[in-house]
A and B are shown apart, each in its own frame.
Chain A
Amino acid sequence: MNLFRLVWSYLKAKPLNTALNIVLLSLGIAVITILLLFNNQLQQKITDNARGIDLVVGAKGSPLQLILCNIFHIDFPTGNINLAEAERIARNRLIKNAIPLALGDSYQSYRIIGTSKAYADLYKATLQTGNWWAADMEVVTGAQVAEMLKLKIGDSFTSTHGLTSDGHAHDEQRFVVKGIMNRMGNVVDNLILTNVESIWQVHEVHAEEAEREHAVALDSSIVLSMLVPTIAAGDSTKEITSMLIQYRSPMGAIQLPRYVNGQSNMQAASPAFETARLFSILGIGVDVLMAFAYILIFISGLSIFIALYNSLKERRYDLAIMRSMGATRSKLFISILLEGSLLTVLGSAIGLLMGHGTLLLLPMLVVEAQKAGISGVVFYPEEWIILAGSLFLGLLCALIPALQAYRTDISKVLAGN
Chain B
Amino acid sequence: MIQVSGLAYGYEASKKITFPDFGVAKGEQCLLLGESGSGKTTLLHLLGGLLRSQQGNITIQQTDITTLSESEMDHFRGKHAGFIFQRNHLIGALTVRKNLLMAPFLAGLQQDESRVEEVLRHLGLLEKRDVRIQELSQGQAQRVAIARAVLNKPAIIFADEPTSALDDTNCERVITLLKEAARENQSTLLVATHDQRLKSKIEQQINLK
Chain A positions within 8 Å of B, measured between CB atoms, are 1-2, 5-6, 9-10, 12-13, 317-318, 320-331, 410-411, 414-416
Contact residues of B between 87 and 123, Cβ < 8 Å to A = 87, 89-94, 98, 101-108, 111
User: Could you list 30 examples of A-B contacts with CB < 8 Å?
Assistant: A1-B98, A1-B101, A6-B102, A9-B98, A10-B93, A317-B87, A318-B91, A318-B92, A321-B85, A321-B90, A322-B91, A322-B102, A322-B106, A323-B74, A324-B83, A325-B77, A325-B78, A325-B107, A326-B75, A326-B77, A326-B78, A326-B79, A326-B107, A327-B74, A328-B70, A328-B71, A328-B74, A329-B71, A414-B160, A415-B42
Whether B51 and A13, one on each chain, are in contact in the complex, defined by CB atoms closer than 8 angstroms, is no
Inter-chain CA distance A317–B105, complex, in Å, is 18
Q: Which chain B residues border A6 with CB–CB below 8 Å? A: 94, 102, 105
Whether B94 and A325, one on each chain, are in contact in the complex, defined by CB atoms closer than 8 angstroms, is no
Inter-chain CA distance A6–B98, complex, in Å, is 9
Whether A317 and B51, one on each chain, are in contact in the complex, defined by CB atoms closer than 8 angstroms, is no
Whether B92 and A326, one on each chain, are in contact in the complex, defined by CB atoms closer than 8 angstroms, is no
Whether A414 and B78, one on each chain, are in contact in the complex, defined by CB atoms closer than 8 angstroms, is no
Q: Which chain A residues border B83 with CB–CB below 8 Å? A: 321, 324-325
Q: Which residue of B lies closest to A314 (CB)?
A: B92
| With contact pairs A1-B98, A415-B41 given, residues A327 and B89 touching in the complex (Cβ less than 8 Å) | no
Residue in B71, B77, B89, B107 whose CB lies within 8 Å of A317: B89
Whether B93 and A411, one on each chain, are in contact in the complex, defined by CB atoms closer than 8 angstroms, is no
Any A CB within 8 A of the CB of B68: no
Whether A410 and B106, one on each chain, are in contact in the complex, defined by CB atoms closer than 8 angstroms, is no
Whether A331 and B106, one on each chain, are in contact in the complex, defined by CB atoms closer than 8 angstroms, is yes
Known: A1-B104, A9-B93, A325-B107. 10 other contacts (CB 8 A): A9-B98, A317-B89, A318-B91, A320-B89, A321-B83, A321-B91, A327-B78, A328-B75, A330-B71, A414-B160
Any A CB within 8 A of the CB of B25: no
Inter-chain CA distance A416–B85, complex, in Å, is 10
Chain B positions within 8 Å of A, measured between CB atoms, are 41-42, 45, 48, 50-51, 70-71, 74-75, 77-79, 81, 83, 85-87, 89-94, 98, 101-108, 111, 148, 160
> In the assembled complex, how far is the CB of residue A379 from the closest CB belonging to chain B, in whole angstroms?
36
Q: Which residue of B lies closest to A11 (CB)?
A: B93
Whether A1 and B105, one on each chain, are in contact in the complex, defined by CB atoms closer than 8 angstroms, is yes
Inter-chain CA distance A327–B79, complex, in Å, is 11
Whether A414 and B70, one on each chain, are in contact in the complex, defined by CB atoms closer than 8 angstroms, is no
Inter-chain CA distance A327–B71, complex, in Å, is 9
Whether B50 and A324, one on each chain, are in contact in the complex, defined by CB atoms closer than 8 angstroms, is yes
Sorted from nearest, which 9 A-B pairs have the closest CB atoms?
A326-B78, A13-B93, A1-B101, A1-B105, A326-B107, A411-B51, A325-B106, A327-B106, A321-B89
Q: Which residue of A lies closest to B89 (CB)?
A: A321
Inter-chain CA distance A318–B98, complex, in Å, is 14
Residue in A5, A12, A326 whose CB lies within 8 Å of B74: A326
Whether A323 and B50, one on each chain, are in contact in the complex, defined by CB atoms closer than 8 angstroms, is yes
Inter-chain CA distance A327–B94, complex, in Å, is 17
Residue in A1, A329, A415, A416 whose CB lies within 8 Å of B111: A1
Q: Among B86, B91, B98, B148, which residue has the most Cβ atoms of chain A within 10 A?
A: B91
Q: Which chain A residues border B101 with CB–CB below 8 Å? A: 1
> In the assembled complex, how far is the CB of residue B164 from the closest CB belonging to chain A, in whole angstroms?
12
Inter-chain CA distance A390–B45, complex, in Å, is 41
Whether B102 and A410, one on each chain, are in contact in the complex, defined by CB atoms closer than 8 angstroms, is no
| With contact pairs A324-B83, A325-B107, A414-B45 given, residues A318 and B89 touching in the complex (Cβ less than 8 Å) | yes
Q: Which chain B residues border A10 with CB–CB below 8 Å? A: 93
> In the assembled complex, how far is the CB of residue A319 from the closest CB belonging to chain B, in whole angstroms?
10
Q: Which chain B residues border A327 with CB–CB below 8 Å? A: 74, 78, 106
> In the assembled complex, how far is the CB of residue B7 from the closest CB belonging to chain A, in whole angstroms?
15
Inter-chain CA distance A224–B23, complex, in Å, is 119
Inter-chain CA distance A12–B78, complex, in Å, is 27
> In the assembled complex, how far is the CB of residue A26 from the closest CB belonging to chain B, in whole angstroms?
23
Q: Which residue of A lies closest to B85 (CB)?
A: A414
Q: Which chain A residues border B71 with CB–CB below 8 Å? A: 328-330
Residue in B42, B45, B94, B106 whose CB lies within 8 Å of A9: B94
Inter-chain CA distance A312–B12, complex, in Å, is 28
Inter-chain CA distance A318–B85, complex, in Å, is 12
Residue in B45, B90, B94, B148 whose CB lies within 8 Å of A415: B45
Inter-chain CA distance A13–B102, complex, in Å, is 17
Whether A410 and B50, one on each chain, are in contact in the complex, defined by CB atoms closer than 8 angstroms, is yes
Q: Which chain B residues border A2 with CB–CB below 8 Å? A: 105
Q: Which chain B residues border A326 with CB–CB below 8 Å? A: 74-75, 77-79, 106-108
> In the assembled complex, how far is the CB of residue A335 from the closest CB belonging to chain B, in whole angstroms?
11
Q: Which residue of B lies closest to A13 (CB)?
A: B93
